[in-house]
Amino acid sequence: MDKISIIIPMFNSEKTIHKCMTSILEQTYDGIMEVIVVNDGSTDKSKEIVEDFIINNKSKISFNLINKSNEGVSSARNVGLMASSGGWIALLDSDDRWLPNKIENQIKILKENLNIDFLGCSRNNETLKILGKKINTLHKVNVKELLIKMYPQTSTVIFKRILFELYGGYNEKMTHAEDGELWVRYCANSSFYYSPQSLVVTGEGKPSFGHSGLSANLKKMHMGNMYILKQALINKLINVWSFLLFWFYYQIKYFRRIILTKIKFYDF
């Protein structure tokens, strides 16, 4: 198997980055891996924690730190992608952690299904549902499904480097739903799969939209999703009738979430 490059964008993550990187050291996979931590202008002790971790790293896994000015998570991920050298790319956020068998299990699936270009999985023991249907087996994803529900979560994915080389990286103008925009682009041009195995712990169980600035975040997320929908129409991934259907669906979904946040209830 080709080298796996693991990209970790980091901003003020002093409370979680050590646990995040330790979860990589605990992987049961014994192939070649490199880790690229991109410090996006942190002002806390994140940088020092990573530097100390690298100095004390005795494993065969290569850990590297890139420091840059604060330009956002999409910029940080793109810097990591450009600096990577592996044939496969795995993404991991600095406040998430992998279960020990994460990479080994995904590599097993990739070896058994050589057609797969992109593979995501479940997290936090969640069962994915698309329009009420549970996804319990290895599943080939299509663009319309992604427009219904943006998945998989960032820290669960591994994909061929060639996707980045052919179709580009993150849209740095987007501050919300940037993963979804990239997933749709890759899904439209590759063999994009999802596994129901739960192999990642994200956000230590916090709600998907965080605790602070919730309504504002929802509005920005909604605007990001609408941009993705418009691009899908422009790129002829959906027809006009599908666009209109999704447009109404997004409005209903947005206002439902606004109402749920106001009564402090989360249901995703």
**Are the CB atoms for 200 and 190 separated by under 8 Å?**
no
Would you say how long the chain is, in residues? 268
In this predicted structure, what is the pLDDT of residue 256?
A: 87
Residue type, 153: Q
What Rg value do the Cα atoms of the chain yield, rounded? 18
Helix (H) or strand (E) holding 235: none
Per DSSP, the residues of 45-77 read SHHHHHHHHHHH--SSSEEEEEEE----HHHHH
Task: Give every residue of the chain whose pLDDT is below 70, as ranges.
Answer: 204-216, 264-268
Tens digit of each residue's pLDDT (9 = 90 or more) over 142-154: 999 999 999 999 9
Fold for 4-202, please state it: Spore Coat Polysaccharide Biosynthesis Protein SpsA; Chain A (3.90.550)
In this predicted structure, what is the pLDDT of residue 257?
A: 85
Instruction: Give the 3-state secondary structure of residue 267.
Output: coil
Query: What is the C-alpha separation between 117 and 159, in angstroms, rounded?
Result: 6
**Helix-helix angle 17-25:46-56, to 10 degrees:** 20
Distances (CA, A) of 110 to 87, 115, 139, 140, 164: 13, 8, 13, 13, 18
Query: What is the C-alpha separation between 39 and 215, in angstroms, rounded?
Result: 28
Query: What is the C-alpha separation between 138 and 185, in angstroms, rounded?
Result: 21
Tens digit of each residue's pLDDT (9 = 90 or more) over 221-247: 999 999 999 999 999 999 999 999 999
Instruction: Give the 3-state secondary structure of residue 137.
Output: coil
**Are the CB atoms for 94 and 6 separated by under 8 Å?**
no
**Are the CB atoms for 136 and 209 separated by under 8 Å?**
no
Query: What is the C-alpha separation between 190 and 205, in angstroms, rounded?
Result: 31
Structure tokens belonging to residue 9:
């964008």
